[in-house]
Structure 1
Amino acid sequence: ETGSTRVIRYTVVQDAGKAVHPTYVEGQYQGGAAQGIGWALNEEYIYGKDGRLQNPGFLDYRIPVCSDLPMIDTQILEIPNPNHPYGVRGVGETSIVPPLAAIANAVSN
C-alpha cells in the first residue's frame, strides 16, 4: 500500500441558530471543512536545522486545491439561540476542527 489517503465525501451538520443568509453559512461550513481536510492531509510546516521556516509562502506551503477535496455536503440546523436578540449563533469556520479527528479515526480504523 502507498499510505495515500483521500476523503471521498464529507458532510457538515451544524446549528446556526437563525441562518440570516444561508448561502453564506454554507460557505463558512464548506470553507472550514476544506481547511480542516488540508490540515489533516497535506499541510505541513517544515523547519530547517537553523529553526527557520523552510516553506513560508504559497509556492512552498501546500494547501488543498479543488481536485484534492471531496464533495462537501452541508446541513444547516436552525434552532434559534434564546440568548441573542436575532436568534443567531456563530458559524465562522467552525467546521475546521472535526475533519482532523474524523480522518485520524478513519485511518486508524
Structure 2
Amino acid sequence: MNAPAPPRFRVRLFLERLAVGHVFGYPLAFVWAVASMPLAIHLHFERLSAIEHDTEAMGQLVVRLVAWPSGVVFVLAHLFALAWGLAQEKKRGQWTFLGGFGVLLGTGVLFGAGSWLWLYLR
C-alpha cells in the first residue's frame, strides 16, 4: 500500500492570500489612525498648541503620532494573512485570518467610537 502524498505547497495560493491581507490592511490601518487621533491630541496637546498657527507642522505631527497604531495594525494584518497563506488547505488558517481581521476591526471601531465620544464630551 502506498501512503497518500502530502499536499504540495502552492506558491500562487500563498501570494494571493498575502495580497488579500495587504489590501485588507489598508482599511484597518485607516480605522486605527482615526481611532487614535483623540488620544494623540490629548497626550500631546501642549506640543500641538505650541505650533497652533503652523498647520503644516501640526498635520505632520498628528500623522507621525497616529502612524504607530495604524502601522502596528497593518503589520498584524499581514501576519494573519501570512498564517493563512502558510496553512494552505487547512481551515484553521482561514479562521486565523478572518478572526484576526475581525478582532482588529472590532476593537478599532469600539476604541475609535469611545475615544471620539470621550473627546467630544470633555
Same topology, TM > 0.5: no
Pairwise TM-score range, normalised by the shorter structure: 0.3 to 0.5
Larger radius of gyration: 2
Higher strand share: 1
The structure, 1 or 2, with the larger RCO (C-alpha pairs under 8 Å, 6+ apart) is 1
Give the TM-score normalised by structure 1.
0.34
Give the TM-score normalised by structure 2.
0.31
Higher helix share: 2
